[in-house]
Structure 1
Amino acid sequence: MDVIYSPDHALHQSPGELNSGEFVAAFEKPERAQIILDRALAVGLGPVLAPERFPLDAITRIHDAGMVDLLRHGFAEWEKLGRKGGAFPFTFFTRGFRADRVPQNLEGRLAHYCFDAGTPLTATSWQAIESSAHVALTGAAAIVSGASSVFSLCRPPGHHAGSDHYGGYCFLNNAAIAAQHVLDQGAKRVAILDVDYHHGNGTQQIFYQRDDVLLVNIHATPEQEYPYLLGFADEPGAGAGEGFNLNLPLPWGTDWEAWSAALETGCRRVAEYAPDVLLVSLGVDTYLGDPISQFKLDHEHFTRMGERIAKLGLPTQFVMEGGYAVAEIGINAVNVLTGFEGR
């Protein structure tokens, strides 16, 4: 299995995040990607390839051009204002505010596009963000060219980023960008299986009214967990997309028995849909030792996860998402991939 990786991911280093009333060190950090890469090399997963470059419109096929412009240039504006640290919003869009007007000044645009206080822009964030999208696009291109599987080691992650909003450590939705590329190259139907602990709200928003992408999310219930405002079971899709969004929310404390039952349900729905390509938003923050999660999966369960996904028999691209037990992230992520390969 080819591994697509760029060292440019390290150009995004958050200065910290607001968490439970304190400004703390960021849980999403560059070491995550390096540890996964080291583990992939240690087990001989496959060759490590640099990403190709793609035109900006491969990104704006999914994302609002104004948001992309903010991600590209927002920090330079921040510095011109004499600000220090990361570019965070001071206020956030909410009910009753106008969505049809994008403010002209930087503070207003940050409020319009960013929805949390954990996803700051820094001087070199855009290079990392763009590179992460190219890692996903390169994996998608490999699948289009006939690869049976590929691992896009994306960082920053992507599944919380919607078409016109970003947050949750995610700036661009790497899996959605990859899915659109596969469709643009001739695929008729794509499925995305999101196994991250947190609901992939951005991916849901992007494809909610489409029937050419089936999205299955297995995640902690928003009754208890971030992002709180999306990811309930009664969100089946709308319009042409009705019936093509499946949320499988689970309570805190979920163990392998309950989680794997949800995986079985999700895999059966994917098989029923019969997509040309499967993308897996691979978050491993379901691990029992994750510092910001409440599920109880252990190392061997990630191997079994990969084995079950492999039974679908589909060309499969894995796109890295979350996982914050940094010391164990390499074991857990690569266990999914070696389980998928049957070794």
Structure 2
Amino acid sequence: MKAIFDARQSAHDPKHFMANGRLSPNPEQPQRIAELTRGADAAGCRFIKPSDHGAGPIAEIHSPEYLVFLETIHGRWIRTEGASEEVIPNIHPDRRTASYPRSASGQAGFHQADTSCPIAAGTWQSAYWSAQSALSAVDTVLAGEPAAYALCRPPGHHAFSDLAGGFCFLNNSAIAAQALRRAGRRPAILDVDVHHGNGTQGIFYGSRDVLTVSIHADPARFYPFFWGHAEERGEGEGLGYNLNLPLPRGSDDGEFLAALEIALARIRAFGADALVVALGLDAHENDPFHGFKVTTPGFGRIAAAIAGLGLPSVIVQEGGYLSADLGDNLTSFLNGYENA
């Protein structure tokens, strides 16, 4: 299987992460790249660099206003007297229809959903090439390969069309799905990250052209809290084209695989002819976020079940944080997919 990655994705090096009122080291570190690369190498992947598809495919998902913000905000922010080295908002609008401010601080609050997506000098460059990696994985699949792995870092599935959040800036999975759609395919997105892909859901919530399915820890007491509940089914033309399968914290291989069967049945019913897998490895039992108890061999079983759909698949890396098992979990998933 081909794997796509650009070294410029290492430039984003966030230092901070605020949770429960405490400032802690950010878990979305460049070191993740080394562990994921090790895992992909062990699965026999052949790494290539992405092509530059320009801003157009990204702007099909994200507003130009938001893209200008991402590209320029850090330079503007650090000119503010007393500003921190990273862009972290301290005020948010009470509604998305609120007026758009001119100040760097106000725009940060408008475009950053939470305090886990700090923007530093290298953030835009890394996010841009992460998206290009996803787009080049689409190229690989459209050229006839059965699957391709995009080592997307930073991840993307919490990013809405004009809103960063949860370590995410550009929604790589949504960008990949839209590229498949533009090529005449009928794509489904299957998100298996332990956290709900709220940005992906939001982007396609009113669309019947892309099916969105997510298996994740119940958000009643788990990030992202406000999205990912079973009753969220889409709206307007998209009603019935979104499926959330929240599971209790601590769910294991068997419980995950049971939910996956429901997800796969919905994808078949949609008549998808291409698949984007939003691959979160943070469902593992030893991941720092401790949401699920999926085992390393369990990722192989999950991948084999997904491969059973027989669809050309773009595998986009989402979560999965630093632990001794991270690379092995990716190896298990990719081998399970290849050997199905």
TM range, smaller chain: over 0.9
Shift of 1:103: 0.9
1:102-121 CA-to-partner distances (Å, cap 9, x unmatched) read 11111111111111001111
Relative to the length of structure 2, the TM-score reads: 0.97
Aligned to 1:73: 72
Shift of 1:327: 2.4
**Equivalent position to 1:271, from 268, 290, 313:** 268
Cα distance in 2, alignment partners of residues 295 and 273 from structure 1: 28
Does the Cα contact within 8 Å between 2:304 and 2:336 map onto a contact in 1? yes
Supply the RMSD in Å over aligned alpha carbons: 1.2
Aligned to 1:55: 54
1:155 paired with 2:153, answer yes
Runs of 4+ in 1 over 3 A off after TM superposition: none
Point out where structure 1 has 5 or more consecutive residues left out of the alignment. Answer: none
Aligned to 1:292: 289
Cα distance in 2, alignment partners of residues 105 and 85 from structure 1: 17
Q: Which amino acid aligns with 1:125?
A: T
SS at structure 2 position matched to 1:131: helix
Percent identical across equivalent pairs? Answer: 39
Aligned to 1:260: 257
Aligned to 2:227: 230
Shift of 1:84: 3.0
Cα distance in 1, alignment partners of residues 220 and 322 from structure 2: 23
Does the Cα contact within 8 Å between 1:175 and 1:281 map onto a contact in 2? yes
Trace 1:235-254 onto structure 2 (pairs within 5 A): 235-254=232-251
Aligned to 1:106: 104
Q: Which amino acid aligns with 1:107?
A: S
Aligned residues: 339
Cα distance in 2, alignment partners of residues 47 and 307 from structure 1: 20
Q: Which amino acid aligns with 1:108?
A: G
Aligned to 1:330: 327
SS at structure 2 position matched to 1:223: helix
Does the Cα contact within 8 Å between 1:307 and 1:342 map onto a contact in 2? yes
Aligned to 1:137: 135
SS at structure 1 position matched to 2:219: coil
Q: Which amino acid aligns with 1:114?
A: Q
Point out where structure 2 has 5 or more consecutive residues left out of the alignment. Answer: none
Aligned to 1:39: 39
Trace 1:16-27 onto structure 2 (pairs within 5 A): 16-27=16-27
Q: Which amino acid aligns with 2:216?
A: H
Does the Cα contact within 8 Å between 2:150 and 2:314 map onto a contact in 1? yes
Cα distance in 2, alignment partners of residues 162 and 293 from structure 1: 25
Cα distance in 2, alignment partners of residues 151 and 57 from structure 1: 22
1:48-92 CA-to-partner distances (Å, cap 9, x unmatched) read 000100121211100011111111000000122242321111112
* 1:145–1:43 Cα change, 3 Å: closer
Does the Cα contact within 8 Å between 2:159 and 2:169 map onto a contact in 1? yes
